[in-house]
């Protein structure tokens, strides 16, 4: 079995364009959430989001190619370009056959679908763009990335709601460690800040309505939380076999050592009691890595800021890690408190945060945790980042339909 390491990271988030900008903002506890500007949200119960600000696709993509892509694909290509540059990755023609791309996407080109539906009703079917289908379908994030960067190995989209990109990273890890690929571009992308996206989640009463305080609206594990804040962006990781990374002298952020995936088989949107499916995913991940719970120093929680979900996840972490968690030796935080919920892209961005925590020895905070819910009795690193040696960092991602994915990033030794 091959060991699998992370050699490049690219982030496009509400907290910044680029990994350095996003990470610096996270460590500073800066909120990336504000009033919605991408459409007129004045009639919506929730009017706030984590938007990617100042994104210019032509900085990353040929101008003639931009029209082929919905916004989520533009984000995916941009994050991948940044990750490849960060890794200093160069592939020979022969190596491209063993280099693949998995990009997790939850909803695909929702804004493209919405705009095209409006167009067909107003001006008729003859006005539909020939790029509509290729732009809107979820797998074209991975497809465009594979074409632009010449990756001829496996290429597809993992679509499992808010666990999509965590599954993408986990499956990419499996392909390399089983010796079926040497390099994988793995990540996620999402862009659903549209009338349909926001309206749909509002209809489920899933979104925060703290419209007068956008920066304070995402408050995981706080007693005053009232729902998640929708967000957009992308995260890409370059995964390589340790053999290849060592041969080329690559800088290594950390090693992926474990992956667990389960299903609650319980409810359309609500987690199983005591986060049972999440518990199993975490235990499978630790067993896979052969790492004891007490050796994990940090958990990047799914932590969406929903009333039920946060309690179930906190309970699940307490069940899996026991006294190690309840005595606050384990640190837990939710980076969603700063950037909101990137849906299908969340897992990859949060696994990247784990890799950066391992590499730099610093854990990002949970902001807006002013009145911690007593039903969530863990150390959530409130308000300010903290330094510590992070040997193992675990990332949780859970999605509608009861899907759960957990990935462990370990310090490379």
Maximum Cα–Cα distance across the chain: 64
For residue 268, what is the DSSP state?
A: S
**What residues does 4 pair with on adjacent strands?**
241, 256
Q: Which of 302, 354, 376, 392 does the annotation list as catalytic? A: 302
162 is catalytic: yes
Q: Are 407 and 281 in contact (CB under 8 A)?
A: no
Pairwise CA distance, residues 47 & 43, whole Å: 8
Helix (H), strand (E) at residue 333 = strand 331-333
Pairwise CA distance, residues 81 & 315, whole Å: 39
376 is catalytic: no
Q: Which of 101, 341, 376, 392 does the annotation list as catalytic? A: 341
Sign of the C-alpha dihedral computed for residues 153, 154, 156 and 160 taken in this order: negative
Each residue of 166-176: b (16+ CB within 10 Å) or e?
bbbbbbbbbbb
Q: Which of 101, 162, 285, 376 does the annotation list as catalytic? A: 162
341 is catalytic: yes
DSSP annotation string for 160-226: BTBTHHHHHHHHHHHHHHTTS-SEEEEEEEE---SHHHHHHHHHTT-B---TT-GGGS--TTBTT--
Helices and strands (H, E) in the chain, number of each type? 14, 15
**What residues does 104 pair with on adjacent strands?**
188
Cα-Cα end-to-end distance for the chain: 17
Active site residue ranges = 162, 302, 341
């Amino acid at each position: 079995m091959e060991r699998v390491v992370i050699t490049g990271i690219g982030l496009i988030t509400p907290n910044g364009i680029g990994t350095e900008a996003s990470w610096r903002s996270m460590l500073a506890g800066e909120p990336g959430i504000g009033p919605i500007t991408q459409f007129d949200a004045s009639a919506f119960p929730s009017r706030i989001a984590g938007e990617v600000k100042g994104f210019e696709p032509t900085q990353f993509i040929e101008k003639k190619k931009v029209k082929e892509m919905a916004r989520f694909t533009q984000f995916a290509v941009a994050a991948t370009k940044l990750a490849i540059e960060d890794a200093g990755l160069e592939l020979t023609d022969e190596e491209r056959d063993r280099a693949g791309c998995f990009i997790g996407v939850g909803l695909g080109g929702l804004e493209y679908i919405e705009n095209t539906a409006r167009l067909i009703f107003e001006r008729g079917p003859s006005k539909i763009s020939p790029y509509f289908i290729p732009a809107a379908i979820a797998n074209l994030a991975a497809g465009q990335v594979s074409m632009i960067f010449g990756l001829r190995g496996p290429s597809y989209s993992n679509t499992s709601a808010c666990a999509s990109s965590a599954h993408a990273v986990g499956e990419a890890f499996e392909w390399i460690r089983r010796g079926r690929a040497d390099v994988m571009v793995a990540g996620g992308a999402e862009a659903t800040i549209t009338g349909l996206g926001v309206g749909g989640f509002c209809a489920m009463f899933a979104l925060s309505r703290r419209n007068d305080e956008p920066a304070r609206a995402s408050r995981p594990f706080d007693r005053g939380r009232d729902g998640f804040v929708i967000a957009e962006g992308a995260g890409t990781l370059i995964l390589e076999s340790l053999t290849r990374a060592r041969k080329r002298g690559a800088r290594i952020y950390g090693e992926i050592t474990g992956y667990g995936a389960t299903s609650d088989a319980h409810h359309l949107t609500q987690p199983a009691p005591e986060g049972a499916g999440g518990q199993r995913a975490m235990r499978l991940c630790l067993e896979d890595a052969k790492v004891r719970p007490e050796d994990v120093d940090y958990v990047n929680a799914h932590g969406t800021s929903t009333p039920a979900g946060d309690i179930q996840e906190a309970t699940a972490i307490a069940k899996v890690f026991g006294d190690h968690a309840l005595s606050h030796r384990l640190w837990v935080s939710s980076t969603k408190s700063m950037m909101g919920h990137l849906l299908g892209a969340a897992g990859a961005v949060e696994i990247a945060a784990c890799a950066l925590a391992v590499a730099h020895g610093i854990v990002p905070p949970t902001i807006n945790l002013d009145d911690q819910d007593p039903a969530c009795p863990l150390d959530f690193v409130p308000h300010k980042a903290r330094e510590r040696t992070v040997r193992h960092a675990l990332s949780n991602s859970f999605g509608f339909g009861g899907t759960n994915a957990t990935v462990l990033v370990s310090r490379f030794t």
